[in-house]
Amino acid sequence: MACDLCKLLEAPAEGVIIWGDQLLVVINVDEAEYPGYTRVVWREHVREMTDLTAAQRQHVMAVVWAVEQAQRAVMAPHKINLASFGNMTPHVHWHVIRAIPTTPISLSRPGRRYSVLPIRPCWRPAARCYQRCTRP
Ligand SMILES: [Zn+2]
């Protein structure tokens, strides 16, 4: 069964792909809440960055950083967030998105509001604090 990104790449809507080469594409996610939200997507269905060769990984990151530079030049954001998830879509892709301070984001489910990293205040000394920092 093809994943969501494979399906999108089979028949992209007009204007979705804003740049591409034989290996990857840059997609305009175009969500009103997140202007400039872009994904860099490997064309072939590959699950992990480490499934790519070193040269392919460097190519992915070079494009991610080029998109980041373009967003900085055009939008002058407070911060750019870069993220690679695969919870919902196990297909190599990077999110490049302007950070909006204090606004929790959901990169995979528009409309669902949660922090990508559920960071909460931690009462433990730093030396003893590792996984428990994110517990409710
Ligand atoms: Zn796929």
Give the separation between CA 109 and CA 90, rounded to whole angstroms: 15
pLDDT tens, residue by residue, 88-121: 889 999 999 988 765 555 555 555 444 444 333 3
Higher pLDDT residue, 118 or 59? 59
Q: How far is the CA of 1 from the centre of ligand 1 (A)?
A: 9
Number of domains in the chain: 1
Long-range contacts of 124-131, Cβ-Cβ distance < 8 Å, separation of 24 or more:
none
> Tell me, what's the pLDDT at 110?
54
Q: How far is the CA of 108 from the centre of ligand 1 (A)?
A: 14
DSSP letter at 36 equals T
User: Which residues neighbour ligand 1 (ion) by CB within 5 Å?
Assistant: 3, 5-6, 45, 91
> Tell me, what's the pLDDT at 24?
98
- The range of the structural domain enclosing residue 75 comes to 4-134
CATH value at residue 105: 3.30.428.10
- The pTM is what? 0.74
- Give percent of the chain above pLDDT 90: 57
